[in-house]
């Protein structure tokens, strides 16, 4: 049971409505306050325990289902449920229904923030097994005795686990969850194909005899020090601790969506903002050819080093270590194409306004948060741009998260 004072007022019978951000459903408490209830489904009647409250709303966990949805299933993970591991939001939801809920969340953000009415379909992506076995990287917390687990929802408390069903078989082969990590504060395990990588925040600890690279406090101490990935026939290397999409099919799905939407032509100029290790920059460089050019902008120096290595055969691709801010954007000139792949906070209003002024032929916006994307989209639409296409990809099954790829054009002057 989640932590909450066990007075009668803290246990409520609620009728659940639409999905809300955070993996919850919206309900109305008897006192009129809005309640955000996790572990439920729209249309269900549940008994819920209040986990926190403010003057205006409650947070609660459904601990008993009085009237169940037809989309409810038994969670495959033994650590899922009220007060347990906070990593998955939808273990109790059938996979097709998960995607419908995500689509509703995106549509609601578009309607409320961007003032856009648009029907969204969340597409499956090859690489998982019925929504499981897709995380190529996991981050584990460690308690004072060296036992590892995942954080509970909205808590620093640790739920000890001996395995993770959404982690890939390669990650699980390391066996990190079954080891004691005394003196460490966190453990990260990442895998790609047959290579496995373990990074530890804290003291060095004994590892099992597996093919693995090790980094302590983010510094590699034993090879392999990087992981290799192949996307659309092109090889990439990512240093230990570097960012790469965690779903095995994500990079290929995103790259295909971006390239199909932009349709880069030989001789065109392109800009890749928040370029990371150069996933899009390298593929754009192949397509625009030596008569074209690509500028990749990334603030993280280590990612830029990876990007430079991953585009070393493409001299017309330039890597710039710089923050993506309005000044940087305005100095980009007049590119034909722009790829925008910001972190969860989005590009932001000022950067988006600067981008609107560049007026490239087309812009691909890759977004991992529907709310921040809708905010930035509203800025572009207000500047006369048009939304030509929008795809939603299910890169994070069993969670509320979804990846968006939007194609936009500046519209007539």
Residues that are catalytic: 368
The alpha carbons of the chain give a radius of gyration, in whole angstroms, of 23
Which position has the token pair 């691709």? 317
Which position has the token pair 């066990």? 6
Q: How far apart are CA 332 and CA 335, in angstroms?
A: 7
Report how far apart, in Å, the C-alpha atoms of 55 and of each of 9, 31, 32, 59, 318 are: 15, 11, 11, 12, 52
Tokens of 354: 């600067």
Residue 215 CA neighbour count, 13 Å, CB half: 20
Report how far apart, in Å, the C-alpha atoms of 272 and of each of 7, 88, 175, 341 are: 55, 31, 37, 8
Residues 6+ apart with CB under 8 A from 35: 12, 14, 26, 27, 28, 29, 48, 50, 57, 58, 59, 60
Length of the chain as a residue count? 413
Are 287 and 258 within 8 A, CB to CB? no
Q: Dihedral of CA 277/283/289/295: which sign?
A: negative
Q: Residue 304 phi/psi, 5° resolution?
A: -65, -35
Report how far apart, in Å, the C-alpha atoms of 212 and of each of 55, 222, 223, 240 are: 50, 8, 7, 11
Residue 338 β-bridge partners: 271, 363
DSSP 176-242: GGGS--TTEEEEEEEEETTEEEEEEEES-----SSS-EEEETTEEEES--EEEEEETTEEEEEETT-
Residues 6+ apart with CB under 8 A from 166: 77, 87, 88, 131, 132, 133, 134, 135, 397, 398
Give Cα 35 to chain centroid, integer Å.
26
| Closest to 238 (Cα-Cα) out of 174, 173, 310 | 310
């Amino acid at each position: 049971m989640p932590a909450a004072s066990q007075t009668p007022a803290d246990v409520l019978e609620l009728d659940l409505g639409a999905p809300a951000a955070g993996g919850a459903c919206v309900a109305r408490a008897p006192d009129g306050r809005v309640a955000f209830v996790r572990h439920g489904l729209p249309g269900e009647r549940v008994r819920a325990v209040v986990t926190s409250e403010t003057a205006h709303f409650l947070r609660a966990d459904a601990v008993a289902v009085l009237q169940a949805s037809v989309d409810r299933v038994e969670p495959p993970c033994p650590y899922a449920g009220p007060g347990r591991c906070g990593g998955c939001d939808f273990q109790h939801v059938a996979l097709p229904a998960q995607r419908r809920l995500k689509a509703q969340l995106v549509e609601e953000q578009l309607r409320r923030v961007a003032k856009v009415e648009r029907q969204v379909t969340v597409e499956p992506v090859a690489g998982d097994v019925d929504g499981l076995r897709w995380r190529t990287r996991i981050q584990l917390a460690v308690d004072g005795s060296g036992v590892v687990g995942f954080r509970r929802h909205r808590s620093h408390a640790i739920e000890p686990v001996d395995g993770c069903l959404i982690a890939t078989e390669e990650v699980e082969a390391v066996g990190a969850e079954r080891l004691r990590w005394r003196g460490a504060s966190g453990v990260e395990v990442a895998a790609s194909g047959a290579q496995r990588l373990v990074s530890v925040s804290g003291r060095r600890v004994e590892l099992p005899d597996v093919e693995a690279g090790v980094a302590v406090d983010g510094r590699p101490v034993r090879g392999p020090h990087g992981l290799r990935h192949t996307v659309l026939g092109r090889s990439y290397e990512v240093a230990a601790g570097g960012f790469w999409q965690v779903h095995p099919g994500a990079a290929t799905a995103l790259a295909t969506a971006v390239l199909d939407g932009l349709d880069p032509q030989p001789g065109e100029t392109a800009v890749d903002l928040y370029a990371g290790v150069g996933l899009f920059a390298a593929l754009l460089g192949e397509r625009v050819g030596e008569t074209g050019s690509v500028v990749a902008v990334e603030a993280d120096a280590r990612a830029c080093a990876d990007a430079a290595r991953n585009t070393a055969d493409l001299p017309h691709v330039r890597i710039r270590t710089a923050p993506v801010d309005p000044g940087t954007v305005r100095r980009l000139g007049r590119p034909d194409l722009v790829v925008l792949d910001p972190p969860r906070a989005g590009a932001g209003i000022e950067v988006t306004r600067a981008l609107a002024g560049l007026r490239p032929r087309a812009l691909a916006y890759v977004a991992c948060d529907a709310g921040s994307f809708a905010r930035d989209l509203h800025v572009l639409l207000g500047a006369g741009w048009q939304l030509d296409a929008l795809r939603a990809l299910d890169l994070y099954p069993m969670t509320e998260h979804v990846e968006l790829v939007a194609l936009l054009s500046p519209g007539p002057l």
